[in-house]
Amino acid sequence: MVLKRFKNKLNRSLRFRLISLISALIGLLTFIFATYFIYHERSLITRQLRSEGELLASLIASEIQTSLYAGASEDTAWHAARLFQSSSATTIRITDQLDGEIVYSTKIGMETPSNYITVKKDIHADSHGRSPESILLDEPAPVVMIGRVELVMDSEKINTMMKKLIFIGGITCVIFWFVASKLSLFFMKRITSSFQTLMTAVKRIEDGNLEPWFPETVDDEPGRALAAINSLAQSLKLKNEENERLQAEIVKGLRLEIDEEKSRNMAKLIQTNRMTSLGLLVSSMAHEINNPNGAIRLAAELLERGWRDMRPVLNEVAEHEGEFRLCGMPYSAAMTDIEKAVDAISRSSLRIEQVVRNLRGYSLGSREKEQIPFDLNSVAENSVAILRAHGKMESIEIISTLATDLPLAGGNPFQTEQVVINLLMNAIQAMTTNHGRIVTISTEKDPLTGEPLLHVTDNGPGVPEEHIAHLFEPFFSTRIDQGGSGLGLYISEFIIKEQGGSLTIVNMKEGGCRATIRLAAA
């Protein structure tokens, strides 16, 4: 656990790493110095002990030179013992020139140590047998070795001194390491205090405290870094305040947008509820209109049969009695008008029946599956005639350009006519503020596929690009506040798709908008 805490602190603290490194270096240098000092002292003590042994060997050799030369072994042993007992040597051995042992003595209670020091000293004497020539020439007498002194010095003194040195040196090293580490810690804290202040400033920013902080610092690298961090904190504070202001504005804008979207959705819900009520009203009206329309159609059939029966009689009367007046006009003119009137009543009744059927189907959600061949040019002409009959032109010029080689389209002509009328009404409404308003309705045959096409083109301002992608969405309209339901184009596209065709709306390069109906050829 202690090792783990030490490791964590070592990894997280630069100051701790520096102090640990310096303490380790101080400890290593102290150990090296102490080892060198102890080794040097051991060498010095060894040299002193060897010098003492050499001096003692020289004294003993000088003392016993005469008795050894004279062969007096007892005197030799006495003189040697006298000097040997007062010395630090543990063993003495004296031999003659023939290596014959004369004296061998060891102090009582002392054994030869394992790491002993041996000192040897040869004993020499001058030779008295000089030749006349050497005397005349004053040559020195030759020196001959008459014996040897060997001493074994006591090395326990070295061991004792080494133990003392190791003990004193160890205590000194520990004290020195402790004092040096404390001093290093003190100076390291002073040196790294700027870094600690710097880290405190960074920690304040990390905790979200962006208030400027100006502690007492020196003008060094960390102090200048702290000043830069304070400037950064001030900038971050200003940016944060600006972000909060922008965020408040965004939230306010989102709330306004949500309120507007809520209002639009509420308007759509109201419109949906209105359309639901209208559907119920249409279903009821369809039933109410269908009853009198049935009577009208039955009456028209009776009139047609009666007229067919009456016409031969009236022709015969005209032949025998001449021209007479019928319905306030001559019979010859009234005959044609009456036939057209009876035919108009039948066709109008049939149209009313189809309209009622479509209204009922729309209100009940049914789909007209009947697909029959029809002339798209006739649909275009009927649509224009209906708008003119209802006074929807309002000084708008409608130009019809119908193809003569147009193939028959496959689908429902009544529903297609409903779509064309809706597109014409949209074109007229788009140009309510324009002068020289022109709507062109044209048909053509696609040269590639052979399919019949119908175009409704206006010279209005066109559709904004951001609205084109939403034109066929339910309840999308730029005229909601003017009574638009936002369902016209949605229903129109649905009708055309049900017939296997397509409805597209694009802006023209020269201005205005074009809606195109594409149907499959029958």
pLDDT tens track, the chain, 522 positions: 556 665 665 566 666 777 778 888 888 888 888 888 888 888 888 888 888 888 888 888 888 877 877 777 777 778 777 777 777 777 888 887 776 777 777 765 555 555 677 888 888 876 554 555 555 555 565 667 788 888 888 777 777 878 888 888 888 888 888 888 888 777 777 766 666 666 676 677 667 676 665 565 556 666 666 667 677 777 777 887 888 888 888 888 888 888 777 777 666 665 665 666 566 666 667 667 777 877 787 888 888 888 788 888 788 877 777 777 777 778 777 778 788 777 878 877 877 777 777 666 655 544 455 678 999 999 998 888 777 755 555 677 888 999 988 999 999 888 898 899 889 888 888 776 555 678 899 999 999 999 999 999 988 888 888 888 878 887 777 665 555 666 788 888 888 998 899 999 999 888 889 999 999 987
Distance CA 212, CA 221 (A): 19
Distance CA 316, CA 46 (A): 175
Give which of 501, 378, 487, 491 is closest to 441, Cα–Cα. Answer: 378
Residue ranges with strand state E in 231-343: 325-326, 329-330
What are the tokens at 453?
């096409």
Give which of 156, 153, 157, 146 is closest to 84, Cα–Cα. Answer: 153
Are residues 485 and 475 in contact, defined by beta-carbon separation less than 8 angstroms? yes
Integer angstrom CA distances of residue 240 from 121, 310, 410, 497: 97, 98, 66, 55
Give which of 355, 500, 510 is closest to 440, Cα–Cα. Answer: 510
What are the tokens at 133?
């020539």
pTM over 0.95? The answer is: no
Q: Is 189 helix (H, G, I), strand (E, B) or coil?
A: helix
